[in-house]
Amino acid sequence: MKRAILIAVLAAFLGMGCSTQPVKTVWLDEMDLSTMETGWGSNHVKKSVDRNPLTINGTVYERGVGTHAISKYMVDLGGKGRRFMATVGVDDEVKGKASLEFFVLGDKKILWQSGIMTDTTAALPVDIDIRGVKKLALLVTDGGDNINFDHANWADARFEIRGDTILALPQAVAGEPYILTPPVGDAPRINGPSVTGATPGRPFMYKIPVTGKRPMTIIAANLPAGLSMDPATGVITGKVKQEGEYLVDVRAKNEAGEAARTLKIIIGKHKLALTPPMGWNSWNNWACAVDQEKVKASADAMVSHGLIEHGWCYINIDDCWQSSERTKAGELLPNEKFPDIKGLADHVHSLGLKIGIYSSPGPTTCAGYPGSYKFELRDAQTWANWGMDYIKYDWCGYSRVVEDNTLEAYQKPYRVMREALDRVDRDIVYSLCQYGMKDVSAWGAEVGGDLWRTTGDIGDSWNSLSSIGFAQDKNSPYAGPSAWNDPDMLVLGYVGWGASLSPTRLTPDEQYSHISLWSLLAAPLLLGCDMERLDDFTLNLITNDEVIAVNQDALGKQAVPLVREDGMEVWVKELEDGSKAAGVFYTGSSNTDPVEMFNWDEGKTSRKITVDLAALGFAGKCTVRDLWRQQELGAFTGTFDTEVPFHGVTLVKITATE
């Protein structure tokens, strides 16, 4: 009995962290931070997220970590911790714009929270007792608004422990990539949207994407006057003078079979981007390390990987292509990395692809190159002369010249460029980029945009992707043909925002969720990866025609979340044929409850989810098709069950049969 009491006392003594090991200080900035998630940019040791010295209200801190909301980090203390200390606050680099909140959590409880902090809030000291805590989590939330400018510093952050090291705990275990999409068959299949459009009298180009064995003959009957098609490539070119809607019969034939489909061509004013643009953009991969060779190689790879036959068609150059000075006559020129931009555009067009470019309404772009401020018409003309088909127009330097804080002042530069684009003799898709300010989705179409960014920049983490993607419901009502909400570009494949790229940090399940959610959201699909390094898994993700068809559906509806509960969400998109696409996501965490934002339990690998078909608008019998596997799951009434991986998705098409 005495012996049992002694053991119990000893166990309690050790359990309280009172082991005989000496107390050691472990600084956050010397720990493994590879699992620390950040909502934007990258975390930096002893530096802010923008790589400045860690500074809160004028005080510079030598040690600590600069991160960005939503930021999450979990460690395994195993009960050996004693104290956690830090000084927290918003970094001075974002004057007047941030609002965020710091939390320290232990074993599913909030141990400390800062309250909402802005750049004027004094730095707050944290000093908490963490004895007995097994799993500890550091969290910075967006303070309930959005993550824009939420640069957060864990200055002087350190743990006192009795032990040697502290292990970081990943929130999701990667698992092996697995391919669900069946290989493309030999018989022809006509892909791409069922509708495309152009302005009367302007150059028209549309490549009909067709998969299947070559040689193949493609025929387009009833083309409007002024257009013709190359039967070997399926590229339609020309000019149509007459406004109207033209129904074209497309047929594709090879030795393995034949396929037919109707393509609607709408000729009218502002009829570009009738379905969300699909293509590639240089930013998430090369950022300012972009050059002409890389753009050309990306276009060539778009064709050699066969992506062009699945509807991928834009090759968009982002920032850093410009020369630092305009000519005396005010002309904007490319820099030395683009010795022949017109030749590049011609090459891209010769492949049946389209090409895009980037500028800012401000005097400078984000990377500090000349913007189009006061040169709008001139620049629009330059891009038209080069043969550009798409312009991303990024606010950035305009914040220095914006007249005031009114809605009109925020709309003005976008109206000015719209007018300029209308005056040049070329169809140029107009992509607004101003990170969602002043609810741009409510007026992006009114100022003549074809699409508009609704958020800050995406990063290759589940945290970033899910906090952006699952917050898009408020923008849904505004989506439609030539009016797309843009939750930013894809983060699949090799990404890196610079000269050296690495595989995305998203797990395979998270990548399935990424494409599924962006398809349901009718979001522009712009790859941001090294096109020459596309592995089979990534190719499988971006060549599933049934998934792409959800994105490209001509009705142009954006999905809405019809079920949201306890770590799962079901997003439903109405389709032109009367059916609905539904994504059943096992998010495993909440985006608002600090405790539920973490995965505390090991072994969260998948979950059986019962989908209530009535909640999705299906009263009677319906058929359910698994879009990733391209397989019928059968007929269901009332509910259907699906096993969904952690951070993964089941994407289905549901059709009422009675």
Catalytic machinery residues: 394, 457
Q: 504, 493 in Cβ contact below 8 A? A: yes
Phi then psi for 42, rounded to 5 degrees? -130, 155
Task: Tell me the closest approach of the beta carbon of residue 501 to ligand GAL, in angstroms.
Answer: 16
433 scored as a contact of ligand GAL (CB under 6 A): yes
Retrieve residue 185's tokens.
Answer: 């068959």
Phi then psi for 231, rounded to 5 degrees? -65, -20
Comparison of 524 and 645: residue with beta carbon closer to ligand GAL:
524
Q: 261, 190 in Cβ contact below 8 A? A: yes
Q: 39, 174 in Cβ contact below 8 A? A: no
Q: For residues 591 and 473, what is the distance between their CA atoms, to the nearest angstrom?
A: 14
Q: For residues 206 and 578, what is the distance between their CA atoms, to the nearest angstrom?
A: 27
94 scored as a contact of ligand GAL (CB under 6 A): no
Q: For residues 649 and 471, what is the distance between their CA atoms, to the nearest angstrom?
A: 17
Instruction: Fill in the per-residue mask, 390 to 419: x = in contact with ligand GAL (CB under 6 A), - = not in contact.
Output: ----x-x-----------------------
486 scored as a contact of ligand GAL (CB under 6 A): no
Task: Tell me the closest approach of the beta carbon of residue 263 to ligand GAL, in angstroms.
Answer: 32
Residue count of the chain: 658
CB-nearest residue to ligand GAL: 366
Comparison of 393 and 585: residue with beta carbon closer to ligand GAL:
393
Q: What is the CA radius of gyration of the chain?
A: 27
| Binding residue (CB under 6 A) for ligand GAL from 36, 366, 520, 572 | 366
For residue 168, with 0-12 CB atoms within 10 Å meaning exposed, 13-18 middle and 19 or more buried, which class applies? Answer: middle
Comparison of 367 and 651: residue with beta carbon closer to ligand GAL:
367
Comparison of 433 and 491: residue with beta carbon closer to ligand GAL:
433
Task: Tell me the closest approach of the beta carbon of residue 339 to ligand GAL, in angstroms.
Answer: 22
Q: Which stretch binds ligand GAL (CB under 6 A): 167-175, 359-367, 468-476, 517-525?
A: 359-367
In what helix (H) or strand (E) does residue 379 lie, and over which residues does it extend? Answer: helix 376-386
Q: Which stretch binds ligand GAL (CB under 6 A): 258-266, 361-369, 532-540, 607-615?
A: 361-369
Q: Which stretch binds ligand GAL (CB under 6 A): 77-85, 365-373, 536-544, 615-623?
A: 365-373
Comparison of 367 and 584: residue with beta carbon closer to ligand GAL:
367
Instruction: Fill in the per-residue mask, 276 to 295: x = in contact with ligand GAL (CB under 6 A), - = not in contact.
Output: -------x------------
- Residues in the interface with ligand GAL (CB under 6 A) total 10
The footprint of ligand GAL on residues 149-208 (CB under 6 A) is: none
Task: Tell me the closest approach of the beta carbon of residue 594 to ligand GAL, in angstroms.
Answer: 28
Q: For residues 219 and 188, what is the distance between their CA atoms, to the nearest angstrom?
A: 12
Comparison of 89 and 528: residue with beta carbon closer to ligand GAL:
528
468 scored as a contact of ligand GAL (CB under 6 A): no
Q: 451, 524 in Cβ contact below 8 A? A: yes
Tell me if residue 111 falls in helix, strand or coil.
strand
Distances (CA, A) of 463 to 39, 43, 106, 466, 522: 6, 13, 20, 5, 21
Listed in order, strand segments (DSSP E) in 435-579 are 451-453, 484-486, 494-495, 502-503, 525-527, 560-565, 568-574
Task: Tell me the closest approach of the beta carbon of residue 531 to ligand GAL, in angstroms.
Answer: 18
49 scored as a contact of ligand GAL (CB under 6 A): no
The footprint of ligand GAL on residues 316-345 (CB under 6 A) is: 318-319
Question: Which of the 8 DSSP states describes residue 44?
Answer: E
Comparison of 168 and 437: residue with beta carbon closer to ligand GAL:
437
Q: Which residues contact 9 (CB under 8 A, 6 or more apart)?
A: none
Q: 585, 644 in Cβ contact below 8 A? A: yes
Task: Tell me the closest approach of the beta carbon of residue 239 to ligand GAL, in angstroms.
Answer: 32
Task: Tell me the closest approach of the beta carbon of residue 282 to ligand GAL, in angstroms.
Answer: 9
Instruction: Note the residues at the interface with ligand GAL (CB under 6 A).
Output: 283, 318-319, 365-367, 394, 396, 433, 457
